[in-house]
Amino acid sequence: MKKKIVAYNRVEQPVLDDLKEKYDVRFFKNVDTKNDPEFLGHLSESEGIIGLGTPIDAELLDNAPNLKIISNVSVGYNNLDLGEMNKRNIMGTNTPGILTDTVADAVFGILAATARRIPELDHFVKNGEWQAEAIGEECYGINIHHKTLGIIGMGRIGKAIAQRGHFGFDMDILYHSRNRKPDAEKTFDAGYRELDALLEESDYVVMITPLTPETEGMIGKREFQKMKSSAIFINGSRGKTVVEQDLIEALENGEIASAGLDVYEQEPVASDNPLLTMKNVVTTPHIGSSTHETELSMSKLAGENLEAGLRGERPPNLVNPEAFNENE
C-alpha cells in the first residue's frame, strides 16, 4: 500500500504528479486545518506533509500520529513549532539557497519601485493624468545609486541584496546581524553597525531577517523614530518582524518617507488595512521567491527532502537535527 502524504497550498504540478506516482497524495488549498474533516482524516494516516505556510502546532500534530516529516516549500520555517515536532521525532525541512537571488531581485525591485514611485506613476500615465509634455516635481523620485543601504539580517539573501546594491548601484552598504560577516565586509565593503546606528545612517533600511522570537516586533515606534525622515523602509522578511501599527503611524506622521512591503502581519492583508490607501507605500503579495523557475526548483527540493525523510534518511535540508534518529 502506498504511504499517505498531505500536500497543501503550493507544490508545483510536475512535483505533485511525480509524488502521486509513488504515494497516496491528497492536495489541499487554503484548507481549514482545524476543522476540515477530509483534511483531518487524511492527515491522521499520513507519514509526510509538503507545502507552504500553514502553521504546524501541537493541535495539528496531535491529529497526525504517523507523521515522520514536514517538508516546507519555503526557506522560512517560522510556521513550524519545532519544540512540539522534536517531542514527537518529526523532522522539518526547508528550501534554502535556490531562492536567494530570486528574493534579492524582488527586494531590489520593490526598493526601486518605491524610490522611483513606479506603481503610482504607472497609474498616472494609464489614468490619462500625464497632460503636460514636461513632467514636474509631482513625478520626482529619490536616487538609489550612491545612497546608503542598511540591511538588517546578513544571511544569504542579505548578501545577495548587498551585492546588487554595491556592485549595481554604487551604494554604501551597512548591515546589522547577530554575528559579524567578514566575507560581506570584504566583498561589499559592508560596515557592521549596531541597530540604532544603522537606522540613523541609512537612506534605505531593508529588513530580511528570519522571523524568530528574537526578531518578532524588532522594528517598531522607537526604531522608526531613529530613521531619517527621508528613509525608505523595505520589508522582505516576515510581517511580524515589524509592528505594523507603528509603521502605519510612522508613515502618517512623516517619520519616514515611504515603504515597500512584500509581507504583512496578517496575510492575505486585510482590505481595510490603512497601508493599502497610502500613495507612498508599494505593496506586493509575498512574492519574494515567486518566479516560475524558482517555485519549481523549491518544490523539487522540498520533494527530495520529503522522500529522504520517508525513507528514514537524513533529509538534505533538515532544520531540527534533534528529531532525526538514524536507527529508526
Evaluate whether 50 touches 27 at the Cβ level (below 8 Å): no
Please, which residue, 76 or 92, has the CB nearer to ligand DGY?
76
Residue type, 263: V
Binding mask 179-218 for ligand DGY (x = CB under 6 A): ----------------------------------------
The nearest distance, CB 153 to ligand DGY, in angstroms, is: 13
The catalytic residue among 164, 244, 286, 295 is: 286
Which residues partner with 175 through β-bridges?
A: 151, 192
How many residues sit close enough to ligand DGY to count as binding (CB under 6 A)?
A: 6
The nearest distance, CB 99 to ligand DGY, in angstroms, is: 6
In this chain, which of 69, 85, 99, 171 binds ligand DGY, going by CB under 6 A? Answer: 99
Centre a 10 Å sphere on the Cβ of residue 81 and count the other Cβ atoms it contains: 18
The nearest distance, CB 191 to ligand DGY, in angstroms, is: 27
Please, which residue, 251 or 298, has the CB nearer to ligand DGY?
298
The nearest distance, CB 262 to ligand DGY, in angstroms, is: 8
Please, which residue, 94 or 148, has the CB nearer to ligand DGY?
94
Q: Applying CB under 6 A, which part among 12-20, 72-80, 194-202, 277-285 lies near ligand DGY? A: 72-80
The catalytic residue among 117, 164, 238, 244 is: 238
Helices (H), the chain: 13-22, 37-44, 58-62, 82-87, 100-115, 118-126, 156-163, 169, 182-187, 195-201, 221-226, 244-252, 292-310
Give the Cα separation of 128 and 120 in Å (integer): 13
Give the Cα separation of 295 and 66 in Å (integer): 28
Give the Cα separation of 285 and 289 in Å (integer): 11
All three cell numbers of 249, joined, read 503611524
Q: Applying CB under 6 A, which part among 68-76, 109-117, 214-222, 223-231 lies near ligand DGY? A: 68-76
Please, which residue, 75 or 149, has the CB nearer to ligand DGY?
75
267 is catalytic: yes
Evaluate whether 23 touches 2 at the Cβ level (below 8 Å): yes
Does position 76 interact with ligand DGY (CB under 6 A)? The reply is yes
Site for ligand DGY in 263-322 (CB under 6 A): 288-289
Does position 104 interact with ligand DGY (CB under 6 A)? The reply is no
Give the Cα separation of 113 and 282 in Å (integer): 7
Q: How far is CA 75 from CA 90, 109, 157, 256, in A?
A: 18, 20, 10, 30
Q: Looking at the annotation, which residues are catalytic?
A: 238, 267, 286
What residue ranges bind ligand DGY (CB under 6 A)? 74-76, 99, 288-289
